[in-house]
Amino acid sequence: MPSNVKSQCTDKLTHAARRENVSVRRFCDNFATTTPFQVRQHAAKIHSALAKAFLFFHSEFEKGNVMKLLNCQDGRRDIADQVIRFGAVAREQIRVDVQTLIGRSSYQVDADAATMADIGAAAIGKQLLQHERMKLAEFGMGLGEPFIVIEGLPEQADLPPTPQMFHDDAVVQSTDCQLLGAMRLAGLHPVAYTSENYGRLMRNVAPAATALNAVSSHGSKEPLEFHTDNGYEFEGSGCVCSPSPQYLWFAGLRNQDANGNPVPTEVLRVSDIVDQASTTLLTTIQQPIFRIMPGQSNSRAPIDHVPLLERNPVTGEWRLRFNCNGSQTVGLTRDAKHATKELIEQIDSMEELAVSIVVAPGRLLGFDNYRVLHRRSSFEPGEDLSQARWLRRCFACRDLRNGQRIDPRHRPYVWK
């Protein structure tokens, strides 16, 4: 077992113990050399949930399967550092704090987003360790890994049937508070567009009976190929129109197909795409010779004569606007058409580098829409759509002033 993996698992156990108010630092320091008997002997004296963790990790040390335990694993790099996990004690405290702060109120996210973000940030923030706070802040500044997962959060109580399109947001207000609170802790603001989702902040990512074959978040029978959402101008680029959302956040409410299997979301780093692209391809896709068409769920006009790939002038990170659906990214010259085809073929060959993440109940996923592509495979939702897959999705930006707000006073989160 590599020493760095042992060290990472030791740290994970230490953090878990801290959340359960159990002191196990001395044991963890010597964890790699303890025997199974010593593990069981020590585990008998501590919190039962943590005891199971010790035994489980120790057995996997012996089998060399530690990497398989990680909820997010791309087969090449250990990305567990991008996962913030809460234990049972922290989870219950978050639940209590959120419910206490909500009280008897019935919040609607489009009217009460600021208050709900305050509630979620207060409840979650109390349970974060310092390095976890820094991780969220760095993610929100477009630094480090371009995605983050928060798990072990309270699941939505009294979950109603999966809606068709829209419903009363108040029935999932505790989940929305957590989602908005995590965004607030990352220094981000929720944002919606008049051209998409009817200008509402939260989108129900769920199969709709009238759209099962649509290539959108309301479909299921057609795959969503690797893409960035709403590939307009980049935030902070000085564009006249409202930019595309830099961040997407998802919260899990239900996430399984008709056979009970989880439906993952996959993300692919733009940096990996750049690393494998030829010099000719990179040169071509940085030229303003492409047209970006809107997605099926968006009524905005196409944008012409833009590059696909640019560098962020502040962070130096690569950022991409692209959709592997050939009808939505159009080359305007012969070279551009060839580059579009080559880029799709390259991305199709990079499956082993994609990170598969199940947005299960009690889990949040956030990713940088400029620095990753994401996709979802087709799935069968089953005959009873009231129990079908259901995620909540919200766009986010660094600064609401970077877009054209329709009503800064009454609807500050909505861009034209």
Do 291 and 341 fall within a single domain? yes
The arithmetic mean of pLDDT across residues 133-145, rounded, is 93
Task: Give the pair of three-digit tokens for residue 105.
Answer: 């109120």
Do 397 and 283 fall within a single domain? yes
Do 267 and 405 fall within a single domain? yes
Other C-beta atoms closer than 10 Å to the C-beta of 240 total 6
Do 389 and 276 fall within a single domain? yes
Q: Is the pLDDT of residue 298 over 80?
A: no
The arithmetic mean of pLDDT across residues 266-273, rounded, is 96
Do 48 and 106 fall within a single domain? no
Considering only residues 351 and 394, tell me which one the structure prediction assigns the higher pLDDT.
394
Q: Is the pLDDT of residue 196 over 80?
A: yes
Other C-beta atoms closer than 10 Å to the C-beta of 337 total 15
pLDDT in tens, 17-63: 554 444 444 444 444 444 444 444 444 444 444 455 555 555 544 44
Considering only residues 320 and 24, tell me which one the structure prediction assigns the higher pLDDT.
320
Find all residues with CB under 8 Å of 49, minimum gap 6, and list them: 20, 87, 88
Q: What is the pLDDT of residue 29?
A: 42
Is 227 domain-assigned?
A: yes
Q: What is the pLDDT of residue 241?
A: 81
Average pLDDT taken over every residue of the chain: 84
Task: Give the pair of three-digit tokens for residue 278.
Answer: 């030829």
Q: End of a domain among 69, 100, 122?
A: 69
Q: Is the pLDDT of residue 242 over 50?
A: yes
Identify the weakest region by mean pLDDT among 46-60, 121-135, 219-233: 46-60
Q: What is the pLDDT of residue 11?
A: 56
Is 381 domain-assigned?
A: yes
Q: What is the pLDDT of residue 15?
A: 56
């072990």: which residue's tokens?
152
pLDDT in tens, 363-382: 999 999 999 999 999 999 99
Do 48 and 112 fall within a single domain? no
Is 130 domain-assigned?
A: yes
Task: Give the pair of three-digit tokens for residue 370.
Answer: 């400029």
Other C-beta atoms closer than 10 Å to the C-beta of 359 total 25
Q: What is the pTM of this model?
A: 0.82
Q: Is the pLDDT of residue 357 over 50?
A: yes
Do 111 and 175 fall within a single domain? yes
Q: What is the pLDDT of residue 8?
A: 53
Q: What is the pLDDT of residue 314?
A: 85
Q: What is the pLDDT of residue 147?
A: 97
Q: What is the pLDDT of residue 302?
A: 87
Alpha-carbon span 81 to 103, nearest angstrom:
34
Three-class SS of 137-189: HHHHCCCCCCEEEEECCCCCCCCCCCCCCCCCHHHHHHHHHHHHHHHHHCCCE
Is 82 domain-assigned?
A: no
Q: What is the pLDDT of residue 167?
A: 86
Is 79 domain-assigned?
A: no
Do 60 and 137 fall within a single domain? no
Do 15 and 123 fall within a single domain? no
pLDDT band of 80, cuts 50, 70, 90: confident
Is 74 domain-assigned?
A: no
Provide the number of structural domains found in the chain.
2
pLDDT in tens, 102-127: 999 999 999 999 999 999 999 999 99
Do 145 and 22 fall within a single domain? no
Do 377 and 242 fall within a single domain? yes
Q: What is the pLDDT of residue 352?
A: 87
Q: What is the pLDDT of residue 68?
A: 36
DSSP characters for 231-277? --PPTTS--SSPPPPSEEEEEEEE---TTS----EEEEEHHHHHHHS
Q: Is the pLDDT of residue 384 over 80?
A: yes
Is 77 domain-assigned?
A: no
Asked whether the beta carbons of 79 and 355 are under 8 A apart, the reply is: yes
Domain CATH code at residue 259: 3.60.130.10
Q: Is the pLDDT of residue 64 over 50?
A: no
The arithmetic mean of pLDDT across residues 333-344, rounded, is 97
Q: Which of 210-214, 246-250, 310-314 reaches the highest mean pLDDT? A: 246-250
Is 383 domain-assigned?
A: yes
DSSP characters for 79-90? -GGGEEE--HHH
Task: Give the pair of three-digit tokens for residue 366.
Answer: 């956030």
Reference 363, options 254, 203, 216; nearest CA is 254
How far from the centroid of its chain's Cα atoms is residue 71's Cα?
Answer: 13
User: What residues make up the domain containing 249?
Assistant: 89-415
pLDDT in tens, 143-190: 889 999 999 999 999 999 999 988 889 999 999 999 999 999 999 999
Do 410 and 262 fall within a single domain? yes
